[in-house]
Amino acid sequence: MTELPARRLLLVHAHPDDESINNGATMARYAAEGARVTLVTCTLGERGEVIPPESRHLTGTALGEYRLRELTAAMSELGVDDFRLLGGPGRFRDSGMMGLADNDDPDCFWQADVDAAAGHLVEVIREVRPQVLVTYDDHGGYGHPDHIQAHRVAMRAVELAAESGHEIPKVYWNRVPRSVAEEAFARLERELPGLPFTKAAAIDDVPGVVDDARITTEIDGTAYAAAKAAAMRAHATQITVAEPYFALSNDLAQPVLTSEYYELVRGERAAGRETDLFAGIAGIVGAARTAGTASDGSGEAS
Ligand SMILES: [Zn+2]
């Protein structure tokens, strides 16, 4: 077995594109710094609505295969070479939006047995031995069944892995501070007339918005804004990008956030607002220094 890098980050997402929207800058940063970044995506998003007219003939399995290629391109933009589908490609199918008959499909992720699905993730955890896991909150950020299920499966896998001797020191949920969302949407409203989108989304359309007090960690992704935008653009069936804004198939504009925010929900928080997901984990600081990272010099400016 080859030796693992000192820092190992695991992200659990529902569909191809969620990782780039939520964590693109974070993934690019840690990959560039030599950390092992592993993405586990739970479904191929076979029920996603397709934006470009020339691709709208793609549905079901064909769309899933196409979206896997988009995901591959996005990971190349972020410099991430370890990305996997939970249980293998096509094992769990996209469940579609809440309340639709799609959710009754026995092969859909929403119908999956949580322990069984978590077992696939535990295998990855045992192999990669991450110190940090990132996923959604218990509402899946915004209520999509696959996002809620991804949360349940990830959190169950954390428990099961701990029982089998692999404790993950820090677990985070994706968040957006309300003040950041409000400021970005105010700017969006002013700039909307010059943008290729008809309307702005509402703040409540943004997954994971919470009061600022709940934010434990801010990753400044300014240096990786271009990589994040490129990764989002790679998911062309799902996302239209006009930097620094984007829209999903509903054509409602949203800001592309280059600083990404997290709430630590398991593990010990370092002092103040963390600027590194690995902050405080034993043995990590020295490892980061020997890897030659420059970003640790920013000190306590937050
Ligand atoms: Zn999704």
Per-residue pLDDT, averaged over 223-231, amounts to 98
Write the pLDDT tens digit of every residue in 68-119: 999 999 999 999 999 999 999 999 999 988 888 888 899 999 999 999 999 9
Task: Report how far ligand 1's centroid is from the alpha carbon of 18 (Å).
Answer: 5
pLDDT interval class at 287 (50, 70, 90):
very low
| Distance (Å, whole) CA 12 – CA 15 | 10
The better pLDDT of the pair 120, 2 is held by: 120
Helix residue ranges, H only, 164-283: 178-191, 225-234
> Residue 194: what pLDDT?
95
> Residue 285: what pLDDT?
57
Write the pLDDT tens digit of every residue in 8-18: 999 999 999 99
> Residue 99: what pLDDT?
87
Task: Report how far ligand 1's centroid is from the alpha carbon of 208 (Å).
Answer: 13
Q: Is 276 helix (H, G, I), strand (E, B) or coil?
A: coil
Task: Report how far ligand 1's centroid is from the alpha carbon of 284 (Å).
Answer: 31
Task: Report how far ligand 1's centroid is from the alpha carbon of 42 (Å).
Answer: 10
Write the pLDDT tens digit of every residue in 137-193: 999 988 999 999 999 999 999 999 999 999 999 999 999 999 999 999 999 999 999
Task: Report how far ligand 1's centroid is from the alpha carbon of 180 (Å).
Answer: 22
Asked if residue 81 belongs to a known ligand binding site, the reply is: no
Q: How far is CA 221 from CA 36, 136, 148, 201, 297, in A?
A: 17, 19, 26, 23, 15
Asked if residue 15 belongs to a known ligand binding site, the reply is: yes
Contact 140, 42 (CB under 8 A): no
> Residue 301: what pLDDT?
39
Task: Report how far ligand 1's centroid is from the alpha carbon of 269 (Å).
Answer: 28
> Residue 1: what pLDDT?
55
| Distance (Å, whole) CA 22 – CA 17 | 9
* 284 pLDDT higher than 80: no
Quickly tell me which residue has 């499909």 as its tokens: 105
Average pLDDT, the chain: 93
Cα 228 off chain centre by:
12
Asked if residue 18 belongs to a known ligand binding site, the reply is: yes
Task: Report how far ligand 1's centroid is from the alpha carbon of 17 (Å).
Answer: 7
> Residue 161: what pLDDT?
98
pLDDT interval class at 291 (50, 70, 90):
very low
The better pLDDT of the pair 285, 228 is held by: 228
Looking at the DSSP bridge assignments, the partners of residue 242 are: 245
> Residue 101: what pLDDT?
86
* 215 pLDDT higher than 50: yes
* 299 pLDDT higher than 80: no
Task: Report how far ligand 1's centroid is from the alpha carbon of 150 (Å).
Answer: 10
Task: Report how far ligand 1's centroid is from the alpha carbon of 302 (Å).
Answer: 30
Ion ligand 1: residue ranges with CB closer than 5 A: 14-15, 18
Write the pLDDT tens digit of every residue in 22-73: 999 999 999 999 999 999 999 999 999 999 999 999 999 999 999 999 999 9
Residues in the chain: 302
Give pTM, 2 decimals.
0.93
Task: Report how far ligand 1's centroid is from the alpha carbon of 272 (Å).
Answer: 31
